[in-house]
Amino acid sequence: MARFKDRERALVLRKQGLSYSQIGKILKVGKSTLSTWLKDHPLPKERIKELRDCNEQRIEKFRETMRRKREKRLQETFEIQRKKILPITRREFFLSGLTLYWGEGTKSRMDSLGISNSNPAVIRFFIYWLIKILSVPKKEIKIQLCLYDDMNIAKEIRYWSDTLEIPENQFNRPYVKKTSSKRINHKGGFSHGTCQAKIGNTPLAEKILMSIRVISEQYS
């Protein structure tokens, strides 16, 4: 009796346009049994096409294939651009740092330089630029973090210290916002707060800000 009810139910579901897999999941019946029960009730071609197009495994396989193609394409582009761009001359590096500072740097003071960002790579570049291009002693660079109330403050300080290769004794006391980090949408995956690397040096700050002014006036 139970088997008869399952068969009747399978027929109803089949008329609704469900596939063997879908019906099997609902009734806990194997595909071989369903093929016997429903052999005289094939799906219309249009419905079969819909099921194929909407098949989860098919879609996931397609997504994975496209992801691999995209990664391969990006890696090939990366290699091409690396050959074109590298090596970077000292002058090019200086100009790259100026461009970064123009967009991201603190420009309201003439006695210091500083960049704030949540992306560790940006801060690392700025520190490297200070040391290698502007000849700033590493020990003079100070770090200021902006963190959130629900963060492990000591852990985040260690993270930035290790990432930037700057000892913790060069970190100022972090500013901790009385809000949750979960309210911040880290689209790029940067969830360690905001970091500012800075150096107090009036002649150097004047040099950089006036260099930016040169470029600004030349192309404005």
The tens digit of pLDDT for each residue in 150-200 reads 999 999 999 999 999 999 999 999 999 987 776 665 555 578 999 999 999
**Residue 186, SS3?**
coil
**Residue 114, SS3?**
strand
Return d(Cα 130, Cα 34) in angstroms, integer.
72
* DSSP letters for 137-170: -GGG-EEEEEEETTS-HHHHHHHHHHHHT--GGG
The pLDDT assigned to 92 comes to 97
28: left (phi over 0), alpha (psi -120 to 50) or beta: left
Which residues of the chain fall below pLDDT 50?
none
The pLDDT assigned to 104 comes to 95
Instruction: Say whether the peptide bond before residue 87 is cis (omega within 30 degrees of 0).
Output: yes
**What six digits make up the tokens of 21?**
């897999």
The pLDDT assigned to 178 comes to 86
Return d(Cα 26, Cα 78) in angstroms, integer.
48
Return d(Cα 186, Cα 192) in angstroms, integer.
10
The pLDDT assigned to 117 comes to 96
Neighbours of 148 (CB within 10 A): 19
Sketch the domain layout of the chain as residue ranges: 2-54, 62-86, 90-219
Neighbours of 166 (CB within 10 A): 21
The pLDDT assigned to 1 comes to 55
Are 186 and 120 a contacting pair, CB within 8 Å?
A: no
Q: Is the full-model pTM beyond 0.85?
A: no
